[in-house]
Amino acid sequence: METYLQENFEVKSKNSSEEVLQNWRKLCGIVKNPKRRFRFTANLSKRGEAAAMRRTNQEKLRVAVLVSKAAFQFIQGELREFHREMHIFIKQISLLAITPAGVQPSDYKVPEEIREAGFQICADELESIVERHDIKKLKYHGGVDGISEKLSTSTTDGISNDSDQLIKRQEIYGINKFIESEARSFWVFVFEALQDMTLMILGVCALVSLVIGIATEGWPRGAHDGLGIVVSILLVVFVTATSDYRQSLQFRDLDKEKKKIAMQVTRNGYRKKMSIYDLVPGDIVHLAIGDQVPTDGLFVSGFSVLIDESSLTGESEPVMVNSQNPFLLSGTKVQDGSCKMLVTTVGMRTQWGKLMATLSEGGDDETPLQVKLNGVATIIGKIGLFFAVLTFVVLMKGLMARRRHEGRFWTVSGDDAMEMLEFFAVAVTIVVVAVPEGLPLAVTLSLAFAMKKMMNDKALVRHLAACETMGSATSICSDKTGTLTTNRMTVVKTCICMNIKELTNEEKDSSSFRSELPDFAMKLLLESIFNNTGGEVVTKRKSKRKREILGTPTEAAILEYGLSQGGDFQKERKACKIVKVEPFNSEKKRMGVVVELPEGNFRAHCKGASEIVLAACDKVINSNGEVVPLDAEKSDYLKETIHSFACEALRTLCLAYVELENGFSAEDPIPISGYTCIGIIGIKDPVRPGVRESVAICRSAGIRVRMVTGDNINTAKAIAKECGILTDDGIAIEGPDFREKTQEEMFELIPKIQVMARSSPLDKHTLVKQLRTTFGEVVAVTGDGTNDAPALHEADIGLAMGIAGTEVAKESADVIILDDNFSTIVTVAKWGRSVYINIQKFVQFQLTVNVVALLVNFSSACTTGSAPLTAVQLLWVNMIMDTLGALALATEPPNDELMKRSPVGRRGSFISNVMWRNILGQSLYQVLVIWILQAEGKWIFGMKGPDSDILLNTLIFNTFVFCQVFNEISSREMEEIDVFKGILDNHVFVAVISVTVLFQIIIVEYLGTYANTTPLAPIYWLFSVSIGYLGMPIAAHLKKIPV
């Protein structure tokens, strides 16, 4: 079976081709209820329609953007370029019927309701300007400043926080939310549960049974069998619908969590974090590398802004956004630079809003386990259908033989019709029991349960498949900063003007260090700290004496250090004019800024990885404050300082500057050499508590942890040793060395690598790809930056950081670690294993019931000419093993023992030899017991009289059900003997077992008329429970058999 499943029902955990997804669907021939069975699989036809619609919208927008670009070039005098681009796109414009929208700028009149509300421009006009990149209209309205004035806002202070004003803006311009599909009600799930073909057939059988029964035996006696089936069907439907409805509510809650995005916004002159759904036109939003543009808007100010518009236009080439091309579209991503944006258009008025309606069409890809269990259900279903037909044929043959013997072969009485109907109902019910429709849905139930619990453990699962794939992970490639460390950084050591200084808490706020530095050096240091930064120092609204530092933990630490040395952020910023900014990125590992000084000359400041920035220096400031050449002796001294800081697990940064010639413009590149070193800063970022223990847990679970960081190799090694990642037999390597290796060298090297320092995103991507393809490992990788997206996409499980991670990284990830903590990653792995093993437990339990139910009814039909389990009884058994069984076994919480087992890996068998041993052993015991009861039950218990048949069948039914109850308990552990460990902690399991036993008592003792049972004496109850319980020691002995 495993080979068949791997050949026909094998899909990737993500990025499977449409052909693969189509293939397994074609093989699912036996499907009782397609609506329910395929609810959580991708709707490929809808997905295709949505993709076509998106392509059309993208093409329209692309043409509009290119036409506006051509028009802009024409305005600039580039006639040749204009003619060339117009010639290419004129046909597309005519085909897409793009015509100039709206009125001419000079014809625009402010609607009265807009004017009364205190604004001077309407939502339609704003939408037209930004969406069509209409420079002419923008100029007519006075440019960005004119638009901000007409929106009653300020480009520096933003809008007022007055609630009445905000409501008014929302009423006029709309809210920044997209249309979502309505939540499906409980009755929709009831209707879908009723779509089950076998239940429909049983419903028809029940109706025919009612008609024949009432006609032959009268009311109410003749209605008992039919009503029993109807009540059973309704019970199955409502229990199924309740379970499915609860799942849908869980997924809806998780979808809301996925959409929680906050941005930096200026309102009332104060900068703060806000939900993107609270943004209104007139807001000033701060964008940085990796952010997704939350609305349509206009560029106010910023530096080196590159926008990736591929999600909207399909164009892979990034677009430069500046004052000449100020248009920013919702849904695009900031690839480089930073800026302030004026919000103009929100929600469904934006192009992204219009596309969002199609984004969710088709649903997510199905998970590998869902597909595999669809395969299992298909195989068992075909076997079940075969046995159902065979059982019906054998029963009918027995009936015909009896009638021929009685000499009434060609006459049909009411009793004969009822008997034939019962045979048909039994055959159909065998299909109900035999087709394990609940298998794929048990995966979804388990995943929904796990996702909800993982959310409480600070892990937000974006893709269902990641939950189960994480359980198979064999390797974790983790970042250092913020994941293994706390991300609470402080400057603890410096080497300014060639003097090393260790900063204690007392010294940080004292003036002793300031007095030791020459004035020239201190001026340069503060100028560098406060101008060459991606952070900001803002005054809190409630008290002017309180300040808040915004920015990354590294930037915040350096700014805090600058403030402690008597620096004033606002004063330093006002003293210089920033001409150009090159933000930090993980490729260059440094950032730069050019400032125009009050005297009119220009100076560039550089900050970044110590050895990289130091290599760009040829001068240094000495202890006297003089600029002197950086000779070999001084260079070695600084390198040794960097090395000693790094060996103390400090993150080191080098600050440097260079004087520039007059006439520098923003188009000129910032120099990459000729700098003067100001000093080295050592930043302490402590290791998170519990990380060492978590790494040890991973090692015992067979998961190898590797640190991949952009930091200095000595810093990385020191932290890795502290975390327990770097061992004596492991290797630490730098990214530049790694990328120089040949394929043969990598094959030898990669298994030993435990630390990769100074790595680029490409190095991380290469490592992940090699681990997956060459070594066949299941790889989880963490990432927080924009450039980490390729590695997150390549990995089997991409883990983005919820605090430090950019929106681009989160979008590429499968799981978001909300607290950026490595211990949470270990929790995700534990839950992943729990999901995988829980599904295995459920499959083992359900296949056992399938095998026994099939063999018992078929063998009985062959030997006695009747089926011991009626349609109503089989429906009850189906509910025990399907919905209730899934609830009980698929929701088992994880335990610490899970992390002491080896990972399943990429090629592990889902239905393992251990499972087959347990299934076959338990099935053999149950079939043997029921066969003995059928053959010798009356003799064993001395049953006589007309009621002996129904009494025996009730005893068989009761014994069969209790066998399943105790088998369910035994299935809690597939290899461990002690199955009661932690049973009381799983309230769902205890509740399911209790409800099953309670309803069994009610069915046998009080619903005999409808369920074809009769009340049992205490001795029979004791026997049923004892036989069921005896299955547990048998299961325990089976577990000792090696496989």
Tell me which residues are annotated as active site.
Answer: 479
**Length of the chain, in residues:** 1043
What single DSSP character describes residue 534? Answer: S
Quick count: other Cβ atoms within 10 Å of Cβ 168? 16
Burial status of residue 749 (CB atoms within 10 A of its CB: 0-12, 13-18, 19 or more):
middle
Task: Tell which phi-psi region holds residue 776, choosing left (phi > 0), alpha (psi between -120 and 50) or beta.
Answer: left
Question: Is 313 within 8 Å of 65 (Cβ atoms)?
Answer: yes
Q: H/E element holding 539?
A: strand 536-539
How far, in Å, CA of 312 to CA of 589, rounded?
Answer: 30
How far, in Å, CA of 938 to CA of 736, rounded?
Answer: 82
Quick count: other Cβ atoms within 10 Å of Cβ 946? 6
How far, in Å, CA of 428 to CA of 32, rounded?
Answer: 11
First to last CA, the chain: 17
Burial state string for 839-869 with b = 16 or more CB within 10 A and e = fewer than 16: bbbbbbbbbbbbbbbbbbbbbbbeeebbbbb
How far, in Å, CA of 268 to CA of 286, rounded?
Answer: 15
Residue with tokens 């041993």: 917
How far, in Å, CA of 43 to CA of 33, rounded?
Answer: 15
How far, in Å, CA of 386 to CA of 388, rounded?
Answer: 5
Quick count: other Cβ atoms within 10 Å of Cβ 975? 12
Name the 3-class secondary structure at 579.
strand
Q: Which value, in Å, is the radius of gyration of the alpha carbons in the chain?
A: 36
How far, in Å, CA of 695 to CA of 706, rounded?
Answer: 10
Q: What does each C-alpha distance from 796 to 101, 422, 789 come to in angstroms?
A: 46, 51, 13
The full 3-state SS of 307-365, as one line of letters, equals EECHHHHCCCCCEEECCCCCEECCCCEEEEEEEEEEEEECHHHCHHHHHHHHHCCCCCC
Report CA 286 to chain centroid distance, whole Å: 26
Half-sphere exposure of 268 toward its Cβ, with a 13 Å CA cutoff? 11
How far, in Å, CA of 844 to CA of 920, rounded?
Answer: 10
Amino acid at 440: P
What single DSSP character describes residue 527? Answer: H
